[in-house]
Structure 1
Amino acid sequence: RPDQLVGSIMTQELEKRKAEFNAKFERTFGLESKGYSQANIKFGKAALSNMLGGMGYFHGQSVVQSVYNEYPLLYPEGALFTAVPSRSFFPRGFLWDEGFHQLLLSKWDPQMTRESIAHWIDLMNMEGWIPREQILGDEARSKVPAEFVVQRNENANPPTLFLALQELIEQFSANPDNAAFQPTLPFLRRLFPRLKTWFEWYNTSQTGSLPNSYRWRGRDKDTNLFLNPKTLTSGLDDYPRASHPSADERHVDLHCWMALSSGIMASVARLLDEPHQDYELTHQVLSDNNLLNKLHWSEHLRAFSDFGNHTQDVSLQQEKVYVPPGQPRHQFPVARLVRLVRRAPKLQYVNALGYVGLFPFLLQILRPDSPKLEHILRDMRDSDKLWTPYGLRSLSRTDPLYMKRNTEHDAPYWRGPIWINVNYLAVRALHHYRDADGPYQEKAATLYEELRTNIINNVHRQYVETGYIWN
């Protein structure tokens, strides 16, 4: 047939599409006009293309353990259009990751982001719960260790989709006549009833013991085997929390997620001319810096902190297995590493300096004139604590659990390694405080330039050396 996509016709079409991509890339991100090198621009195009290539369509059933059922059951069949953290290793949707994925993709193709968010919200049950990890179907389950397959309907995950919704709202508000952004308004109108249910689920199921406090559910219960029981639901798996999980815990990162989410709910409601006063009031209460200080400021650490039943005097030690004289050793249990608690826990601040304590800054809850901001900026820039030439560490080098294994099988994950999503939030927050009137503008501006440069150079260097973009 004429004009087959072969030979010179194929070459011409590829060149045409390549030119269109390059032109749209510069219109969207403006890297050339900002003075970036051709190597950095090429890397940026590869990063965007990799994220676009990571979008996938999945269909199947999750396995869910409900508080209403004795055994796990198959969830109703569902479909999901989502990006994935890694096509080879994590080929499935993660609620915590997807908001960050869509922050990038919404700038390139807002319709793709609207469709992805709609798919995620469609997976909500009648109570407002969305499974945090979407392991849909037998093929997906074959890639996941058995202990992680079952999703529990009391467990949350950071509601990062609100970050992507915030981006869509800002796009529309700044350019209401732009054809690419106009569908956002009817999209939000269709989404709003379920969005209200989702927010309400968080605001009722994850509350703490004190008014206006919050606590992640789903922490590891077998405290004997963990140096510090994990909180997978927070997205910061092994980041140090209270050593002995209890209902008395208060988690500062979740408090800040709820402050952010309530503010965005108010923005959506105002945009749709729906009642917004309750969301606005919730946002004002949770953003009150005096309340935040009362619930989470540790004078000892001079930083924001979780609160709970806690002791730092713990370690992993080989358990003793008694083998009677003359008996073969192989007939007795293998000695495991178990936790030894040398000092009883008490209700106190956890005092782990790192990502969790930065959340009032990361999500821009702190006022620009807050004296607490000065402490945060100082700790961030301290190379003995969080600062490195590559990005911010997840946990201070001075913390007792810095780079410590959590079990004999679990290497440190959020106990020192540098994570790009939180570093992005830090750069974004520094940009905000750089532009906001306050006594720390100049310091924020300096840190913004330094941290941004360090992250870009590091991620690019790792890509050149390994061929991968690491998160």
Structure 2
Amino acid sequence: MARERRRRGPEGGARGPERGPQAARRARGVPAGRGRGWALLALLSLALGAAGLAYGLYGRWRLGRRVVTPHPAPRVLPAGSSGPRAAPERFWGSYRPHVYLGMRPRSPRPPVAGFMWLRQAAEARLRHTCEQSDGLPGYGWLLHDGLRFGAQEIRDRGLTLRTEFVKRPGGEHGGDWSWRVTARPESPGDQTSLVSLLFYVATDGQGTLQPHLENSRLVSVTGTSEELGHFNITFHRPTTETGEALSYASYNHLDARSPGLHRLTDVVKSSLSNRFVYAAPGGPKRRYFAVDTSRARPGEPDQAPQSHLLLHQVTLPLPCRVEVTFESGSFAERPGSLVGAALSEELAGHVAAFERRFEETFSLARKGFTPQQQRFAKAALSNMLGGMGYFHGHSIVQSAHSQHPLAYPEGPLFTAVPSRSFFPRGFLWDEGFHQLLLARWDPALTREVLAHWLDLMNVEGWIPREQILDDEARAKVPPEFILQHNEAANPPTLFLVLQQLLREPGQGPAELSYLRRLFPRLRTWYEWYNTTQAGPQPYAFRWRGRDQDTDLFLNPKTLTSGLDDYPRASHPSPAERHLDLRCWMALASGVMAEVAERLGEPAAEYRRMQQALSDNALLEQQHWAEQLGMFADYGNHSQAVGLEREKVAVGPGQPHHQLPAPRLVRVVRKPPKLQFVGALGYVSLFPFLLQLLRPDSPRLGSILGAMRSEQQLWTPYGLRSLARTSPLYMKHNTEHDPPYWRGPIWINMNYLAVRALHHYASLEGPYQQRAAALYQELRANLIANLYRQYLESGYLWEQYSDSTGQGRGCYPFTGWSALVVLMMAEEY
């Protein structure tokens, strides 16, 4: 009854007009109870949508953060392993390869020492960082053992500098070290030229420095830092080459602040003034450029100074000699300062030890090389060792899931660098070749370098391929190359080094323990390649990160492969199969299997992959181009491409001189199709280079024929990177992008070729004698040309002309070009 009364209106009368939401719902024909349910459902849907959006955003944020999430395994090198107590012999070193002479300890924010010079002339040309624009006739380490001493020669116009350093262990902070710089005139009779030698010490945001002056002469600096404790640096008075005191020299000093170590050159340049007068008794008065503390500027006003710079300048005639000593405060029982005769004696002892060790390691005298050729090889090795750098900082990275660039976790890297002038930083694929040489000299050094690289791995298994970790490194890099993307791989050449280390005699518990610490990261690294670089079919692989702008590039580059502009499929697509990456993965699979077996870890899957990727029938099925008679990449490709000037439309009444310059753009004269890429060159050789072919394979015969053909790959100076018969041989990729891997000779690939020829010459088969003959001829050509170019130019080079043999690209390039030492030694 109650429900009835509610349903009926007032007795005996009509119901009045209803109001409110209920009435509105009834007016639309919606029952009240059901409307309330739909409202709740709508609110629930909104809530779920918001929650889904939030979860999606969180998921994307979480995926984006993975790129900067460290690998969960314990670090191969625990904290402090590079410090003075754990590794005192390696704590100090010439680990600033981008300057002509510099020292730093392996510490995150250390005081650093450096050297500059300038010849006193009408214009002040200060030398400090290694620059190709300086145009020096030659510079580089002649001797360097990587641990205790080094001797370098620098040839500038009008003078030659010899820089030497020696380290002496002692105390708890890495011991002492001393520098000796000897300056000689280019012409023996030149006694009139003035030179200024400038020595400095600077902090990098941590530690203190205190100058000690006598008039205008900076006599010494005392300082302290977290890892160095107390220390003293003394700038000794200049002498003759025989150590006798000089009668007169002018002194200046600089006490200044800088935004950072990367601005030290600018601070010193801004302080130079020619108001000073050199007035030796009985000689003419001459103005000279010198540092002036009152003029020093720290740089941009918005950058807070973080470096304290103290610099000692001595100006004097040639010839002359200056010594600098660093003495650790914890070295209590020092036998005496490492200066003068004591320094000479230490240097002589280290040189003799280096000479003995070099011959024991490489046997070049026994192989009949002349003393001059041996000096060339010693310089090549020494420049690799003298090019070791210690960097601390973070990369700038981005993934497909992160909207903005992120800072990678901060950390250290101890690595060799390809070029002190042009590439003074770590490169992942270069480092594998560097360590093939250094592992012969010092396997312990190589193990530490590999550990540093693998400790940079993130949780995904990715290692940024180019390491630009601090302000000094970034100052040398164009802005567009600083950002690293986590889909970008690089050839895993570190597996080449591991393969070599596994073959070293005397493997014991220490080496096994090292492999055990390495293995979790190796496993993740291998899996990262196996998944992120997988190809369109089983056992195929594809480099990610190819250039996508097909309108501007004759052939879109593949920087991640390390071979940059080497011709690939003309139209990038997911259908591509890249031969070189497949071969790298075959090598990696075999090394992973061997490491796993030694450690008692599951190895069957690695062996299965190695066998599949080494299967010559499957390799030919995926990459042998029968019509081309070569191994090749596969993809969406057209040979009929070229670069032409685009036509610029002229508007009514528009003057022609106001038109933009027409660009050089790509034209495709024949549509692409899925096919093999007709580009005979280094990529075609990879099954041979990494020794995957059976010794009786007829494809081996085809490769040896292409290598020896002068119309294809053979030159008197080494194997060219791309055959002369290739449509893209020596072609520009854009108007301003000259050929790089399209003809020039590269020593890393030639080393692999010599190594492979040596391998096949040792195996019975139909091509054994042919491989042996090619081995002797190619090895002799490479050694002769690199030696000849070194004598003529004073440098090893990034690449060599395939028509003249002359050095090309950047210099000095004592990265993988120093592999000539292993060719001379026949160490493969």
Establish whether TM, by shorter chain, passes 0.5. yes
TM-superposed CA distance for 1:232, in Å, is: 0.2
Say whether the 8 Å CA contact 1:319–1:335 is kept in structure 2: yes
TM-superposed CA distance for 1:323, in Å, is: 1.8
- Name which of 279, 283, 286 aligns with 2:610: 283
Confirm or deny that 1:318 pairs with 2:645: yes
Of stretches 112-121 and 2-11 in structure 1, the one that deviates more from structure 2 is 2-11
Over 3 Å counting, the alpha-carbon distance change for 1:2 and 1:210 in structure 2 is closer
State the one-letter code of the partner of 1:380: M
CA distance in structure 2 between the partners assigned to 1:157 and 1:330 by the alignment: 45
Alignment of 1:161-310 (within 5 A): 161-171=494-504, 174-176=505-507, 183-310=510-637
Q: 2:677 matched to which residue of 1? A: 350
| Stretches of structure 2 lacking an aligned partner (at least 5 in a row) | 1-333, 799-828
| Stretches of structure 1 lacking an aligned partner (at least 5 in a row) | none
Q: 1:114 matched to which residue of 2? A: 447
TM-superposed CA distance for 1:328, in Å, is: 3.0
Q: 1:387 matched to which residue of 2? A: 714
- The RMSD of aligned alpha carbons is 1.2
Over 3 Å counting, the alpha-carbon distance change for 1:30 and 1:153 in structure 2 is same
TM-superposed CA distance for 1:176, in Å, is: 3.1
SS of 2:642's equivalent in the other structure is strand
Q: 1:375 matched to which residue of 2? A: 702
Q: 2:11 matched to which residue of 1? A: none
Greater helix percent: which structure?
1
Q: 1:28 matched to which residue of 2? A: 361
Q: 1:92 matched to which residue of 2? A: 425
SS of 1:433's equivalent in the other structure is helix
Of stretches 431-440 and 139-148 in structure 1, the one that deviates more from structure 2 is 139-148
State the one-letter code of the partner of 2:488: N
SS of 2:503's equivalent in the other structure is helix
TM-superposed CA distance for 1:271, in Å, is: 1.5
CA distance in structure 1 between the partners assigned to 2:528 and 2:603 by the alignment: 17
SS of 1:223's equivalent in the other structure is coil
CA distance in structure 2 between the partners assigned to 1:126 and 1:396 by the alignment: 41
Say whether the 8 Å CA contact 1:80–1:120 is kept in structure 2: yes
TM-superposed CA distance for 1:159, in Å, is: 0.2
Confirm or deny that 1:459 pairs with 2:786: yes
- Name which of 133, 138, 143 aligns with 2:476: 143
Confirm or deny that 1:431 pairs with 2:764: no
TM-superposed CA distance for 1:331, in Å, is: 4.3
Query: What is the aligned length?
Result: 465
TM-superposed CA distance for 1:333, in Å, is: 3.2
SS of 1:406's equivalent in the other structure is coil
Q: 1:64 matched to which residue of 2? A: 397
SS of 2:667's equivalent in the other structure is strand
Deviations 1:286-313 (A, max 9, x none): 0000010000000111110000000010
Of stretches 415-424 and 29-38 in structure 1, the one that deviates more from structure 2 is 29-38
Q: 2:171 matched to which residue of 1? A: none
CA distance in structure 2 between the partners assigned to 1:434 and 1:47 by the alignment: 27
TM-superposed CA distance for 1:71, in Å, is: 1.8
CA distance in structure 2 between the partners assigned to 1:41 and 1:60 by the alignment: 38
TM-superposed CA distance for 1:135, in Å, is: 1.1
State the one-letter code of the partner of 1:150: L
TM-superposed CA distance for 1:426, in Å, is: 0.1
TM-superposed CA distance for 1:437, in Å, is: 1.4
CA distance in structure 1 between the partners assigned to 2:587 and 2:639 by the alignment: 31
Greater strand percent: which structure?
2
Say whether the 8 Å CA contact 1:226–1:407 is kept in structure 2: yes
CA distance in structure 1 between the partners assigned to 2:703 and 2:564 by the alignment: 23
CA distance in structure 1 between the partners assigned to 2:574 and 2:613 by the alignment: 20
TM-superposed CA distance for 1:6, in Å, is: 2.7
Deviations 1:376-433 (A, max 9, x none): 0000000111000100000000111000000011000000000000000000000000
Q: Which has the larger radius of gyration?
A: 2
State the one-letter code of the partner of 1:413: Y
State the one-letter code of the partner of 2:664: L
SS of 2:612's equivalent in the other structure is helix
CA distance in structure 2 between the partners assigned to 1:452 and 1:213 by the alignment: 33
TM-superposed CA distance for 1:2, in Å, is: 5.6
Normalised to the residue count of structure 2, the TM-score between the two structures is: 0.55
State the one-letter code of the partner of 2:756: A
State the one-letter code of the partner of 2:688: F
State the one-letter code of the partner of 2:365: E
CA distance in structure 1 between the partners assigned to 2:526 and 2:399 by the alignment: 19
TM-superposed CA distance for 1:325, in Å, is: 4.1
Q: 1:6 matched to which residue of 2? A: 339
State the one-letter code of the partner of 2:571: H
CA distance in structure 1 between the partners assigned to 2:655 and 2:422 by the alignment: 41
CA distance in structure 1 between the partners assigned to 2:483 and 2:659 by the alignment: 32
SS of 1:225's equivalent in the other structure is coil
TM-superposed CA distance for 1:347, in Å, is: 0.3
Say whether the 8 Å CA contact 1:262–1:282 is kept in structure 2: yes
Deviations 1:127-177 (A, max 9, x none): 100111111123322221122111110110000001111111111xx3336
- Name which of 336, 346, 370 aligns with 1:37: 370
TM-superposed CA distance for 1:314, in Å, is: 0.5
TM-superposed CA distance for 1:88, in Å, is: 1.3
TM-superposed CA distance for 1:75, in Å, is: 1.1
CA distance in structure 2 between the partners assigned to 1:67 and 1:111 by the alignment: 38
TM-superposed CA distance for 1:78, in Å, is: 1.7
- Name which of 395, 402, 407 aligns with 2:729: 402
Say whether the 8 Å CA contact 1:168–1:184 is kept in structure 2: no
TM-superposed CA distance for 1:436, in Å, is: 1.1
Alignment of 1:48-63 (within 5 A): 48-63=381-396
